Amino acid sequence: MAVINSSQKETLRKVLRTIRPYRVYLIISILLAALTVVLTLYIPILIGQAIDHIAAPGKVSFDKLKPILLRGGIIIVITAAAQWVMNICNNRLTYNIVRDVRRNAFRKIGILPLSYIDAHPTGEIVSRVIADADQFADGLLMGFTQLFTGVLTIIGTLGFMLSVNWLITIVVVVITPISLFVAAFIAKHTFTMFRLQSETRGEQTALIDEMIGGQKVVQAFGHEKAAISRFAEINERLRRYSLRATFFSSLTNPATRFVNSLVYAGVGVVGAFSALRGLLTIGQLSAFLSYANQYTKPFNEISGVVTELQNALACAARLFELIEEEPQTPDADPAEPLGTLDAKGVRRAEGRVEIENVSFSYVPEQRLIENFNLKVSLGQRVAIVGPTGCGKTTMINLLMRFYDPQKGAIYVDGTDVQKATRKDLRSQYGMVLQETWLKAGTIRENIVFGKPDATEEEMIAAAKASHADSFIKRLPQGYDTVIGEDGGGLSQGQKQLLCITRLMLALPPMLILDEATSSIDTRTEIRIQRAFAKMMQGRTSFIVAHRLSTIREADIILVMRDGRIVEQGDHESLLQRGGFYAELYNSQFALGRTDT
């Protein structure tokens, strides 16, 4: 077998730990492999005995041939049945393991901190869970199917050959290690190439995903040539790594076949001289030649398995890297409950939010928010305004605990949010962002996403409140119309209306609106703003807006600049102050504009 390095050994240990729950399949497979090998190796003995009974003209003993042939037929049937059951066990073992690894990887994605998702391309993560898992399955299946049988065949063949003639067996054993050295030398070079191939494939998947997702922008800005050039560069690297990996792996089989041919020739020459001296019968020589062929054949198979295992281990290593990534900070245990139980047994917070001395930055050397303080009373509408990059969206990330502050604390109803569960906290907020998100499914499924137990009447009432009901009814199947990923053929405005409907149906005690009406026409926006105003009554609301005309009615306007609140007050008082807010407001309306 090939020599493997320390990282591969560690990956192999992880794979074996994954196999542990299915060790019954593994044990059955090994036992059946042993049975198959023993029966397969017994066949040449029967054939040799049969040859000895027909060794010369007029010396054919049909009475002795019949039981030999009958025994051979029974053995062949048993061997075929054992191989069939063994393959079933191997398939179950392999695909159960891959299912578990994929499931663990997907579960880990659900609890990874957003910092990891933000730092890794989506396509690269998808490539690990899909393509790498498939490659891992192929290598694992080949390993279970051929590796056990091959190793047992080698051991069993040596045993049978020793029982017939020890001298010829020594010839076989002396020449065979050359095949092992050749396989080991080649395998050392293949793992690196297969790992580079796997990583580059993930990079290519990420680029394709990014380009398809932003195809309109790519075409609008004439970025096609640059995208094609970038793809060509990655594709060329993938070609180069794939060719090298394939080249080294393809050397294994012919190299080992050459050594195996030397073994076969050595057995033939030594066996022929032994037969001439009367040390072997013709039947025994025939059995030995068959054993020599069977003995060398597993080395060819194992060399191919080694190549596949190199690829499988490279892919498994990337999968385990994802699975073993540090998850987000676990919820407090025991966690403090947020809010009080309502009539339906659901916890609802009052909506008092307090931020004390919060400091946060995405990158340690680049400061963003420092010593941020804010106190929001029940039912207040808080607008957050400021130039791009000042920290508005970061505030939402902190409120929702998508990120945790490096310093300071955030309280909801007097409870530190880091002492409550994320699920409990996030169930108190309803979000509508500028960037919409819809899943593949029906309109109905997308609307009730935040309240699965909603009635038909509640859903339609929410759609009417958001003014989405009219366009939904015009769709081919109404609320049962199936849409594709991220909204399919719906316009950006229609997708945003569905997200607003989802919020209006859930009606949580606190709201976050980040440019929630940015893609909606002015007439509909006015109506939705009225619906929002009604919905905000009694609910604490955080409104992020570039269009300052939409936040005039806010109770508190926080003007942010470079991660700090530079001004605070209502619309009129801030205008009278003539500071940064007045500058922003006047810059929008000086030329009659209503947005930036």
Is the bond into 334 cis (omega within 30 degrees of 0)? yes
Q: What CA–CA distance (Å, rounded) separates 216 from 517?
A: 22
In a domain, 2, yes or no: no
Q: What CA–CA distance (Å, rounded) separates 510 from 538?
A: 9
Q: What CA–CA distance (Å, rounded) separates 26 from 9?
A: 20
- Looking at the structure, tell me whether residues 520 and 569 fall in a common domain: yes
Q: Residue 415 pairs with which residues in a beta bridge? A: 412
pLDDT of residue 593: 45
- Looking at the structure, tell me whether residues 458 and 514 fall in a common domain: yes
pLDDT of residue 71: 87
In a domain, 334, yes or no: no
Dihedral of alpha carbons 302, 307, 308, 311, sign: positive
Q: Torsion angle, CA of 40/44/47/48, rounded to 10 degrees?
A: -160
Neighbours of 60 (CB within 10 A): 11
In a domain, 106, yes or no: yes
- Looking at the structure, tell me whether residues 488 and 449 fall in a common domain: yes
Q: What CA–CA distance (Å, rounded) separates 225 from 395?
A: 38
Q: Is 228 helix (H, G, I), strand (E, B) or coil?
A: helix
302-338 burial string, b = 16+ CB within 10 Å, else e?
bbbbbbbbbbbbbbbbbbbebbeeeebeebeeebeeb
- Looking at the structure, tell me whether residues 313 and 352 fall in a common domain: no
pLDDT of residue 518: 67
Write out the two tokens for 567.
């001004």
Residue 259 belongs to domain spanning: 7-323
Q: Which residues contact 413 (CB under 8 A, 6 or more apart)?
A: 338, 339, 349, 350, 351, 352
- Looking at the structure, tell me whether residues 411 and 309 fall in a common domain: no
Residues in the chain: 596
Rg (CA), the chain: 35
pLDDT of residue 58: 58
- Looking at the structure, tell me whether residues 259 and 353 fall in a common domain: no
300 near 311, Cβ under 8 Å? no
pLDDT of residue 549: 62
pLDDT of residue 4: 55
Check residue 363 and report its DSSP letter: B
In a domain, 493, yes or no: yes
Q: Which amino acid is at 547?
A: R
pTM, full prediction: 0.65
579 near 532, Cβ under 8 Å? no
In a domain, 331, yes or no: no
pLDDT of residue 180: 67
Q: Which residues contact 288 (CB under 8 A, 6 or more apart)?
A: 161, 164, 165, 168, 267, 271, 280
In a domain, 329, yes or no: no
In a domain, 1, yes or no: no
In a domain, 452, yes or no: yes
- Looking at the structure, tell me whether residues 378 and 473 fall in a common domain: yes
- Looking at the structure, tell me whether residues 294 and 358 fall in a common domain: no
Check residue 336 and report its DSSP letter: P
- Looking at the structure, tell me whether residues 14 and 121 fall in a common domain: yes
- Looking at the structure, tell me whether residues 546 and 397 fall in a common domain: yes
Write out the two tokens for 442.
């029906």
- Looking at the structure, tell me whether residues 245 and 356 fall in a common domain: no
Phi, psi (rounded to 5 degrees) for 558:
-100, 120
Question: Would you give per-residue pLDDT tens digits along the chain (596 residues)?
Answer: 444 566 777 888 888 888 888 889 888 888 888 888 888 888 887 877 777 767 555 566 777 778 888 888 899 999 999 989 988 988 888 888 888 888 888 888 888 888 888 878 777 888 888 888 888 887 777 776 677 777 778 888 888 777 777 777 777 777 766 766 776 677 666 777 777 887 888 888 888 887 877 776 777 777 888 888 888 999 999 898 888 888 877 777 777 777 777 777 777 787 787 777 777 777 777 777 777 777 767 766 676 677 777 778 888 888 888 888 888 888 888 888 887 777 777 778 888 899 898 888 887 777 778 888 888 888 888 888 877 767 777 888 888 888 888 899 999 988 898 988 888 888 888 888 777 788 888 889 888 887 888 889 999 998 888 888 888 998 888 899 888 777 777 887 888 888 888 888 888 888 888 876 666 777 777 777 777 777 788 888 888 876 666 677 788 888 887 767 788 888 888 888 888 888 887 876 654 444 43
Terminal C-alpha separation, the chain? 66
320 near 269, Cβ under 8 Å? no
Check residue 145 and report its DSSP letter: I
Of 270, 289, 323, the domain-final residue: 323
Check residue 386 and report its DSSP letter: -
pLDDT of residue 563: 65
- Looking at the structure, tell me whether residues 319 and 359 fall in a common domain: no
Q: What CA–CA distance (Å, rounded) separates 532 from 383?
A: 14
Tell me, what CATH number does 522's domain have?
Answer: 3.40.50.300
536 near 376, Cβ under 8 Å? no
Tell me, what CATH number does 150's domain have?
Answer: 1.20.1560.10
User: What is the count of structural domains for the chain?
Assistant: 2
Neighbours of 20 (CB within 10 A): 8
